[in-house]
Amino acid sequence: MNGETREACILEPISTVAAGVAGAFSRAGALAVLLADARTLDGLERRYGSEAHDRALAELGDILAAACHEVVPGRAVIARGEVGRGEVVAMLPCARAEQELFSKGLPAIEQAVRVRMARVGTRAVYPYLRELPPIALGRSYVMRNPLLSELTQVRDAIDGARDDAHLNMRIAARARRRQFQELLVQERVHSVYEPIVDASRLTVFGYEALVRGPEGSPFASPGHLFEVAAEEHLVFELDCLCRRAAVAGAQGFPEGAKLFMNIRPSSFHDPNFQVDALTRTLDACGLAPRDVVFEISEQESIENYEIFREARDAYGKLGFQFALDDTGVGYASLEAVAELTPEFIKVDRVFVHGIDEDPVRQTVLRALQGLARDLGAQIIGEGLDTLEELRMLHALGIQFGQGWLFGKPQPLRADG
Task: For the chain, give the percent of residues with pLDDT over 70.
Answer: 94
Closest Cα partner for 267 from 246, 237, 232? 237
Q: Where a domain ends, among 133, 152, 177? A: 177
pLDDT tops 90 at residue 307: no
* 194, 238: one domain: yes
Q: Which of 23-37, 118-132, 224-238 has the highest mean pLDDT?
A: 23-37
pLDDT tops 50 at residue 414: no
* 206, 314: one domain: yes
Q: Span 314-338, mean pLDDT?
A: 83
* 193, 134: one domain: no
* 114, 222: one domain: no
Instruction: Of 6-20, 32-46, 94-108, 138-152, give the lowest mean pLDDT range.
Output: 6-20
338 lies in a domain?
yes
Instruction: Of 150-159, 270-279, 356-365, give the lowest mean pLDDT range.
Output: 270-279
Q: Span 86-110, mean pLDDT?
A: 93
pLDDT tops 50 at residue 3: no
Structural domain total, the chain: 2
Q: Span 324-348, mean pLDDT?
A: 82
* 333, 211: one domain: yes
Pick 329 or 46 by higher pLDDT.
46
CA distance 243 to 120: 36
Query: pLDDT value at position 268?
Result: 83
- In this predicted model, what pLDDT tens digit does every residue of 198-219 receive, in sequence order? 988 889 999 999 999 999 888 9
412 lies in a domain?
no
344 lies in a domain?
yes
* 132, 254: one domain: no
Domain containing 347 — which CATH number?
A: 3.20.20.450
Query: pLDDT value at position 2?
Result: 37
Q: Span 291-317, mean pLDDT?
A: 83
254 lies in a domain?
yes
Pick 416 or 99 by higher pLDDT.
99
* 391, 361: one domain: yes
5 lies in a domain?
no
Domain that residue 400 falls in? 187-406
241 lies in a domain?
yes
Closest Cα partner for 124 from 62, 212, 215, 73? 62
Q: Span 15-41, mean pLDDT?
A: 96
- Predicted confidence band of residue 196 (pLDDT cuts 50, 70, 90): very high
Helix/strand/coil (H, E, C) string of the chain? Answer: CCCCCCCCCCCCEHHHHHHHHHHHHHHHEEEEEEEEECHHHHHHHHHHCHHHHHHHHHHHHHHHHHHHHHHCCCCCEEEECCCCCCEEEEEEEEECCCHHHHHHHHHHHHHHHHHHHHHHCHHHHCCCCCCCCCCEEEEEEEECCCCCCHHHHHHHHHHHHHHHHHHHHHHHHHHHHHHHHHHHHHCCCEEEEEEEEECCCCEEEEEEEEEECCCCCCCCCHHHHHHHHHHCCCHHHHHHHHHHHHHHCCCCCCCCCEEEEEECHHHHHCHHHCHHHHHHHHHHCCCCHHHEEEEEECCCCCCCHHHHHHHHHHHHHCCCEEEEEEECCCHHHHHHHHHHCCCEEEECHHHCCCHHHCHHHHHHHHHHHHHHHHHCCEEEECCCCCHHHHHHHHHCCCCEEECHHHCCCECCCCCC
Handedness of CA 181, 42, 112, 110 (dihedral sign): positive
- Predicted confidence band of residue 299 (pLDDT cuts 50, 70, 90): low
CA distance 409 to 245: 15
Instruction: Of 164-168, 196-200, 267-271, give the lowest mean pLDDT range.
Output: 267-271
Q: Span 329-338, mean pLDDT?
A: 73
- In this predicted model, what pLDDT tens digit does every residue of 52-87 receive, in sequence order? 999 999 999 999 999 999 999 988 999 999 888 899
* 232, 378: one domain: yes
- Predicted confidence band of residue 340 (pLDDT cuts 50, 70, 90): confident
Query: pLDDT value at position 329?
Result: 58
Measured in whole angstroms, the distance separating CA 165 from the mean position of its chain's CA atoms is 23
Residues in a beta bridge with 211: 191
**Average pLDDT of every residue of the chain:** 90
- In this predicted model, what pLDDT tens digit does every residue of 369-404 receive, in sequence order? 999 999 999 999 999 999 999 999 999 999 999 999
Domain containing 86 — which CATH number?
A: 3.30.70.270
Q: Where a domain ends, among 177, 206, 235? A: 177
pLDDT tops 70 at residue 237: yes
* 230, 376: one domain: yes
144 lies in a domain?
yes
* 143, 191: one domain: no
Query: pLDDT value at position 336?
Result: 81
* 123, 102: one domain: yes
Task: For the chain, give the percent of residues with pLDDT over 90.
Answer: 71
- Predicted confidence band of residue 8 (pLDDT cuts 50, 70, 90): very low
Q: Where a domain ends, among 153, 177, 201? A: 177
Q: Span 172-194, mean pLDDT?
A: 95
- Predicted confidence band of residue 331 (pLDDT cuts 50, 70, 90): low
Q: Span 308-330, mean pLDDT?
A: 86
- In this predicted model, what pLDDT tens digit does every residue of 108-152 receive, in sequence order? 999 999 999 999 999 999 999 988 999 999 999 999 999 999 999
CA distance 203 to 324: 22
3 lies in a domain?
no
Pick 416 or 412 by higher pLDDT.
412
Query: pLDDT value at position 338?
Result: 83
* 95, 224: one domain: no
